[in-house]
Amino acid sequence: MNKKLTGKAGLVTGGSRGIGAAIARSLAEDGADVAISYVSSPDKAKALVRELQEKGVRAVAFQADQARTDEVANLVRKVAEHFGHLDILVNNAGVFITGPVGEVKEADVDRQFAINVGGVNAAVREAAKIMTEGGRIISIGSMGGTSSPWPGISDYSATKAAVAAYTRGWARDLGPKGITVNVIEPGPIDTDMNPADGNFATLQKAGTALGRYGRPEEVAATVAFLASKNAGFITGASIAVDGGYNA
């Protein structure tokens, strides 16, 4: 029986673990062929590819440094060549570097912008050359792109705000081609990078209206919806999946 993404091919950057892996699983469960990218975790990437293939779809992993625009552009091209087309791009790869203004190393500021903004930009520019009508571009932003709820996240917030601004502009640019562009802004999500039992978990839980962390699968479900035909009239949107943190 056909599923809602049968016949589609998607790329999830940074898809070997955490939210990215949950997104890859969700797309595959809905019938899409899925490529993931990774930087330094080939074993996890290979294991996830096998898991996705067991769902009855084609799956592949490519190594690419999100900070290198040439590698990101080549990644998009390789995925399109591998599957014969590219219908869904999920910009998930990102880093979270914190510190008060003036105390973060310049190299860390540059790398965070290179990955969180430059890598996303490179992927979208290349995908825009390949995608046809019905294409879906979905970026994983952050509640920090809308607000800065605690000190030390100004650089990170700026990168995610840039992605949200790009999303609105790209939606205008690509709308005539029938391609939608949206950004999801998660709140605290239980991952290796930000575990629900971590040092700052109590503070983050208290900031949500629901009083808990979100699950990667809850972000993934929103991605799968935006990738579907049912979301065809949603574009240029910033969608909060934050438990009410920014309510």
CB 30 within 8 A of CB 224: yes
Share of the chain above pLDDT 90, in %: 94
User: What are the residues whose beta carbons fall under 8 Å from the beta carbon of 122, sequence distance 6 or more?
Assistant: 69, 70, 72, 73
Q: Which amino acid is at 194?
A: N
Domains identified in the chain and CATH numbers: 9-241 (3.40.50.720)
Closest CA to 21 of 40, 4, 2, 38: 38
Whole-model pTM over 0.85: yes
Q: 152 — phi, psi (to 5°)? A: 90, 5
pLDDT level of residue 215 (50, 70, 90 thresholds): very high
Output the CA–CA distances (angstroms, integers) from residue 70 to 65, 83, 217, in the order listed.
9, 20, 31
CB 116 within 8 A of CB 60: no
Decide if 213 is catalytic: no
- Tell me the pLDDT tens digit for each residue of 21-37: 999 999 999 999 999 99
Closest CA to 136 of 231, 210, 70: 231
- Tell me the pLDDT tens digit for each residue of 52-109: 999 999 999 999 999 999 999 999 999 999 999 999 999 999 999 999 998 999 999 9
pLDDT level of residue 14 (50, 70, 90 thresholds): very high
pLDDT given at position 58: 98
- Cα–Cα distance for residue pair 56/7, rounded to 1 Å: 12
* Set 38, 156, 166, 213: catalytic member: 156
- Cα–Cα distance for residue pair 88/198, rounded to 1 Å: 33
